[in-house]
Chains A and B, each alone.
Chain A
Amino acid sequence: MSEPGGRASSSPLLGGGPEPTLLDLSSPGRKAWSLPELDVPAQELDIDERREHAVRLSEVAEHDIVMHFTRLAHRNFAVDLGAYPLGSCTMKYNPKVADWTVDLFSELHPDAPPSTVQGAMEVLVEAERILCEVTGMYRATFQPAAGAAGELTGMMITRAYHTATGNPRSVMIVPDSAHGTNPASAALAGYAVREVPSNERGLVDLDALREMLDEEVAGLMLTNPNTLGLFEEDIIQIADAVHDVGGLLYYDGANLNAILGVARPGDMGFDIVHSNLHKTFATPHGGGGPGSGPVAVTKELAGFLPGPLPVRDDQGQLYWEMPRNSIGRVHSRHGNFGVVVRALTYMRALGTAGLRQVAERSVLNARYLAALLSDRYQMPYPAPCMHEFVTSAEGIKADTGVHAMDIVKALLDKGFHAPTMYFPLIVPEALMFEPTETQSRETMEAMAAAVNEIGEACYEDAESVEDAPVLTPVHRPDEAQAARQLNVTWFMEE
């Protein structure tokens, strides 16, 4: 049965009984594989290090496999099932046409000579052109396989740049509202991480930032709009202040969706920009990946990019060339190329006007949903939100004892995926909603109705919210036990 308003309405046929593991389904002698007979004369091979016993894998028939993984698919929420307002993750619709285009490139080996892979290299060139156009940068690499890999690459470029100018510098500044990957990436690149506080408007505290800035500061990592969904309105002053001490400005592209075709990080003063193709450019998230985190930089920094990069010769042929001062490789080949094909498909399908419309409608949806929730839930900051917003259930918690976690679990029972919870860390009982532009007005209204109903239930029947979810296959798994009695392979089953 389908319901209007982006609500997942089907539940597993068998009502949520546990699915056995493939090992439970295994029986010695069963098999699924099918290969032709060896067609060269078999020889006695002299191979060192031969294994002495068979590998330990399940033995199942093909139909067992199909049933098992199909039943498991039934136990998973997804964008293709219902609204997925997981803040900061941009869970928009992933166009199916990209499934078709990516298959055109599936048989290419990454080490084939350039003369035989000109089409694949053209994909990289065209996607790079559009990415630079949209971000206001000069050149880009697609090697980083995800956003965090892009961040680390950006930090390595920052280090290489400062090292080349004489002082490698030691400090990276990140806002207290930053994604966890920002401090983790900066630390992995060897920087001491300093947090700049947010002010009462939820924006970078410019005075506090100025006090932190000196010749040891290598740069500032910033998401704009920030993780509260607010545009950093002082961005020009922030950029000037960082540049005045010789630092670089790094743009975390997690929230690029909000400003596509409206504003460009390069025009704001950013020097290095990573984008998340799996967010902004509609490539599927795959249950956790693969993503793609291309890094684009200004002309001044282009020589430090990882390589090799595609370059065109006088005859118009593409070849690979390492940038002059390259930091080196950050991936074994060309990054998650298939994801780039999908993103390019999306970029060209939307075109100039379509990309701007993405920004407009993602912001419109977020602002509309926020308006529909603002009677029941606190909006901790006054500024209008961009493509996502953070609301707080602190008032509800104070009044009723119900936590943001409970509200989120109750929303699962109502057929919606949860918003991001308890992030950013500076907002207590945070619920971060990002509806994206591909959800309809009716979905915003249905979701708001569901969230508001839960808010009311906190006051009228708190226990029902604290008991949620009840319709899902499992209910509040014991995470402490998972960590204490580690069982991460079926060989560890008692």
Chain B
Amino acid sequence: MDFTPHTSEDLSIMLDRLDLEHIDELFSHLPMEVLVDRSPDVGRALSEPEVQRLLSSLADLNRELTCFAGGGFYDHYVSPTVRSLTARPEFVTAYTPYQAEVSQGILQVLYEYQSMVSGITEMDITNASMYDGATAAAEAVNLATVSTKRSTVWVSRGVGPRIRETIHTLAVTRGFEVVEHPLVAGHTVWETEAGEPPAAVVWAQPNYLGVVEDYDAAVRVAQDTGALGIVSYDPMTLGLLRSPGAAGVDIAVGEGQSLGSPMTFGGPGLGLFSLAREHVRRMPGRIIGKTVDRDGTPAYVMTLRAREQDIRRAKASSNICSNQALNAVAAAIQLAWLGPGGLKEVGEQSAQKAHYLAARLVELPGVHMANDASFVREFAVLLPIEPEAAIEGMAERGYLAGIPLSKDYPELPGGLLVAVTERRTKAELDGYVSALKEVVAHV
């Protein structure tokens, strides 16, 4: 395929204007030793049907499974309304709204996104998105270390292992120390005697095992130690659960994929990032504000720009430039489509189905709940066989059974993390139980 419009006549007119004989002369001022002596091998050009066939043949190597995996990425229902509006080329093929006059569309959508995320979290201020839940958490922790001038952070082992790894990567580079606090019977136990006062106290709601944590206990630890309280929350549970803002956290972050973006092997989703107003000057990322233009007409612009890298350079609050704006558009439209009633219904149905499945699974021989704690749409079970083997066996029967816990939580041998969204039907839940019964018996 060729997406350039130049005819041979165009080329000769343009080269003539530049006094060039041949197009290669455009590069004649480059040093000889940097010019390639053989062209990089990318293969021959493919026609549109051929490239479709190539990507289809790769996709055919994947197996389509009924999804019971979560861990931050969930198979919730996304309306074609959301897909269709998000695919509008005016949103898809624009860039960061540097020119507000011709970008009022995306600016207003992002303002509404910020409003809706602040609405469900009851947090004062939300930015226009981060990359994902893990980098949002790492940026929040970094904000806390800068803000408090402390160099230790307390992180619950209930925070997703991949999120903790991402925080750890930044910690090694930035030179702060991460102290992990254990889960006991599914809940975080804050070991408050542990060393110097932390910059941040970080937990997840619900936590990685699906357990609904005690908000007040975590917030109290943050307040007692003078740390910022940072929660990694799950937006699709907020129709059911108390909000981070109501609980009094300082920064609320989360993975926003389930708000209108397909799973797509883990990205693009988006990082949700909200905070209490007192911290806004240190907030990373774009923030859209409403103002008026010179005629007094309401207008939207990027605001508090003095925090950002293109203005402050080495002194910026973060290095982020491109974000996940189109996924924020999807999130805004998904939240508009759900409204308060739909968000509650999704939360209720997911929880009802998760509890139904959990109750049936523990009837299987040798299968137990990993803890007795309260959960909503995700829970951990202990299997009498290796979870990896169970997952392979279930895949042969058409199910993605969940995520194995054994590597990340060696204290939970046989652990399998199971997520149930409103999309799963009773027939699929019953099918899952029957399949797992077979798999457990066979391995």
Contact = CB atoms under 8 A, between A and B. Distances in A.
Given A285-B94, A488-B303, A475 B295 contact: yes
A69 B326 contact: no
Contact of A75 (B104, B166, B426): B104
Contact of B268 (A94, A116, A145): A145
Given A51-B243, A350-B42, 13 more contacts: A52-B242, A104-B56, A105-B62, A184-B312, A186-B314, A288-B106, A327-B172, A338-B265, A352-B42, A412-B99, A417-B99, A474-B104, A488-B303
Contact of A133 (B42, B114, B266, B345): B42
> Can you list the 6 inter-chain pairs with the closest CB atoms, starting with the nearest?
A110-B266, A333-B266, A33-B342, A286-B326, A76-B105, A288-B325
Interface stretch (A208-216, A356-364, A388-396, A452-460): A356-364
A74 B339 contact: no
A147 B303 CA distance: 22
Contacts of B327: 286, 289-290
Given A51-B242, A65-B85, A113-B395, A352 B39 contact: yes
Interface centre among A93, A190, A339, A481 (most CB of B within 10 A): A481
Interface of A is mostly: loop
Interface in A208-234: 231, 233
B175 A62 contact: no
B73 to A, nearest CB: 6
Contact of A330 (B85, B135, B422): B135
B14 A263 contact: no
Interface centre among A59, A119, A159 (most CB of B within 10 A): A119
A293 B160 CA distance: 24
Given A235-B34, A332-B266, A475-B293, A181 B101 contact: no
Interface in A146-193: 146-149, 151-152, 155-156, 159-160, 179-181, 183-190, 193
B122 A97 contact: no
Contacts of B320: 146, 148-149
A31 B335 CA distance: 11
Interface residues on B, range: 35 or more
B335 to A, nearest CB: 6
A233 B88 contact: no
B21 interface: no
Interface stretch (B63-71, B147-155, B222-230): B63-71
A99 B116 CA distance: 27
A475 B326 contact: no
B443 interface: no
A241 B374 CA distance: 61
B286 A288 contact: yes
A236 B31 contact: yes
Contacts of B246: 51
A418 interface: yes
Interface in B142-173: 142, 160, 162-163, 165-166, 168-169, 172-173
B185 interface: no
A146 B321 contact: yes
B19 to A, nearest CB: 9
B429 A40 contact: yes
Contacts of A347: 42
B310 A180 contact: yes
26 contacts: A32-B339, A33-B337, A45-B351, A48-B214, A93-B3, A95-B1, A97-B1, A112-B400, A123-B55, A133-B42, A181-B310, A186-B314, A189-B174, A263-B27, A285-B95, A286-B92, A286-B325, A287-B94, A338-B264, A347-B42, A350-B2, A469-B101, A488-B287, A489-B119, A489-B125, A489-B126
